[in-house]
Amino acid sequence: MRLFASIPTSIPAFILTLCACAGLALAQATVNPDAAKKPAVTIDITKPKEGPGKVGWWNDAVFYQIFVRSFQDNPRGAKSGDGIGDFQGLITRLDYLNDGDPKTDTDLGVTAIWLMPVMQSPSYHGYDVQDYKQIEQDYGTNADFQKFVAEAHKRGIKVILDLVLNHTSDKHPWFTESAKPKSEQHDWYIWAEKDPAYKGPWNQKVWHKKGPGFYYGIFSDRMPDLNYANPLVTREMLDITKWGLTDMKVDGYRLDAIRHLFEDGQLQESAPQTFDWLKQYFAATKEANKDAFSIGEVWAPSDQASMYVGGMMDAVFEFDLAGAMVQAAREGKAQPVIDAQAKVLALYPPNQYGRFLSNHDQTRVMTQLRDDEASGQVAAVMLLTGPGIPFIYYGEELGMTGDKPDENLRTPMQWENSRTAGFTTGKPWRAVQPDIARKNLVTQRKDQDSMFNLYRKLIELRTQSEALRAGSYIPVESANPGVYAFIRTAGTTDPRGRNATDAKLIVINLTDAPIADYTLSAQLRLGDPAVSTELLRNVPITEAKWSDAGTFVGWKPFAELEPKRGYIIDLKVK
């Protein structure tokens, strides 16, 4: 079975070092079934990891995930009315995301964008790249993309790209050449003369027949995996990474399917070589742009995902926490999110993880919540007040719904109540959702209690508050299992908030009934709190009886908590 490349003599020393660090350069790999087995680690979830709450611009950001194909078709010009979103159309909607003027209140207020794949691809989704340096022609040209990035930057919006390192399209010229057994590029992918026959992590077929041999593709026969044992592959992907940061001026990357980068025999997830390679890749990325942000898709439990943060990536997406927030909102019970958040705090450097509710691969959050708007609103409060880096999937702020298949999770943005949702003047590439009448921007702008206006207000409050953006998290005990409460503090390194310059108490009634039977208690050292203010709806507050140390016990800030309602209290400190 031929899995790894020989080493050409003309490879730069840095690339050889990168591959050698992964144990790959000198010989074929020896399969070690115990390679990834690590001793069990006991996590004390009462002890959050220490460190700075802010290490880069991303800790101040609110991200918005966009599928360009579904966001906005250019209303005029050559591609107008083709039913497919493009960069010219996206530019016309940037002022919706953030108009760059902090005095206005009509924009959503996000400060960063994650673009799903935008490079040339034979598929609608773009995760099988055919040319890494050419913008998908449906979306425009490289110049259109560069104009979009420039316009986003003018408004204070950072832009990160989805970068698919693990595999390419089977239509990529590299793979076409690699399929020739005697080609110099044969070892750019992983080939075997006979079918190894073993299956993938979810019992899928991973070895695919082509010509006289078989190639490895963990996701599909249309997505062959690259062979990172070959230093030429590493060199090429580093060049593509740096090109995006320098020539295209992007601010970082979301790294797709990153834990599958290396295969060590039948070990197809989180192989030791993947960790070693990423350390060198991370260093090279920072060398190209010290402020570049990298966040990885590691769809795994928190204890596994967190291993990639620190020296390999700036952050990863927190799937367990996402599931717990949705579960709490759906079931009306705080314990799932309390436990998940405590575990995350113990595993990650402070705030260095992406928090989200759903993404392009998952049933949309409102569908998971049975289209209950009140549940969606408390989920939004959890998302945008908790620690970490928040990501909003486009249309989530309108309560858009969608279930499998994947195309139905990625339908056109619902700008207005019309047949084409204001997305295009032609026929949309995919039909809009049937709930367009109430889930569109025009309608929701007029309703102060709408999902859109809640998201806009929450983003505004987060942007204005150091505590909400990058502060510490202090749990608050509640006597009612349907109440989730916590405090965010900034301006202090004391884990109990001593000398905090900014402190916010978040209280959420997750149930669908009013709650009067509750009290809140927290072990704090805030000092001498002044009169508090509720920030979301200016609800009157019953002041706490603070101890001399700044602790409160048995506090009821409101006589009754409304059903499915979140509150943000500014704990002013004298």
522-543 pLDDT tens trace: 987 776 666 689 999 999 999 8
Tell me: do 442 and 490 sit in the same domain: no
Residue that terminates a domain, selected from 464, 483, 510: 464
Helix, strand or coil, per DSSP, at residue 208: strand
Tell me: do 479 and 511 sit in the same domain: yes
Q: What's the farthest any 2 CA atoms get from each other in the chain?
A: 79
Note the pLDDT of residue 500.
82
Note whether 97 and 151 are within 8 A (CB): no
Residue 295: inside a domain, yes or no? no
Using alpha carbons only, what angle is made at residue 157 by residues 156 and 161, rounded to the nearest 5 degrees? 150
Residue 336: inside a domain, yes or no? no
Q: Residue 150: count other Cβ atoms within 10 Å of its Cβ.
A: 12
Q: What percent of the chain has pLDDT over 90?
A: 80
CA distance 374 to 26: 59
Could you tell me the CA-to-CA distances from 544 to 47, 382, 501, 520 in Å, in that order? 27, 23, 19, 10
Note whether 519 and 554 are within 8 A (CB): yes
Note the pLDDT of residue 8.
38
Q: Residue 556: count other Cβ atoms within 10 Å of its Cβ.
A: 16
- As for how many domains the chain has, the answer is 2
Tell me: do 69 and 154 sit in the same domain: yes
Residue 83: inside a domain, yes or no? yes
Residue type at 423 in one-letter notation: F
Residue 91: inside a domain, yes or no? yes
Helix, strand or coil, per DSSP, at residue 284: helix
SS (H, E, C) 325-384: HHHHHHHCCCHHHHHHHHHHHHHCCCCCCEECCCCCCCCCHHHHCCCCHHHHHHHHHHHH
Note the pLDDT of residue 498.
74
Structure tokens at 479: 């006597």
> Would the CA dihedral through 403, 407, 410, 416 be positive or negative?
negative
Structural domain boundaries, residue 82 = 61-159+389-394+401-464
Q: Give Cβ neighbours of residue 434 (< 8 Å, ≥ 6 apart).
A: none
Q: Does the N-terminal peptide bond of residue 405 adopt cis geometry, omega within 30 degrees of 0?
A: yes
Tell me: do 518 and 450 sit in the same domain: no
Note the pLDDT of residue 45.
62
Residue 498: inside a domain, yes or no? yes
For the chain, the residue count is: 574
Residue 382: inside a domain, yes or no? no
Query: What are the residues facing 415 on neighbouring strands?
Result: none
Structure tokens at 491: 């301006």
Residue 510: inside a domain, yes or no? yes
Residue that terminates a domain, selected from 433, 464, 495: 464
Q: Residue 417: count other Cβ atoms within 10 Å of its Cβ.
A: 16
Residue 421: inside a domain, yes or no? yes
Strands 315-316 and 552-555: unpaired
- Quickly list DSSP for 500-517: -SEEEEEEEE-SSS-B-S
Would you name the residues annotated as active-site residues?
Answer: 256, 297
Note the pLDDT of residue 342.
97
| C-alpha gyration radius of the chain | 25
Q: What crossing angle do the helices spanning 272-288 and 231-246 adopt, rounded to 10°?
A: 40
Query: What are the residues facing 508 on neighbouring strands?
Result: 484, 566
Note the pLDDT of residue 527.
63
Report residues of the chain scoring pLDDT below 50: 1-17, 19-40
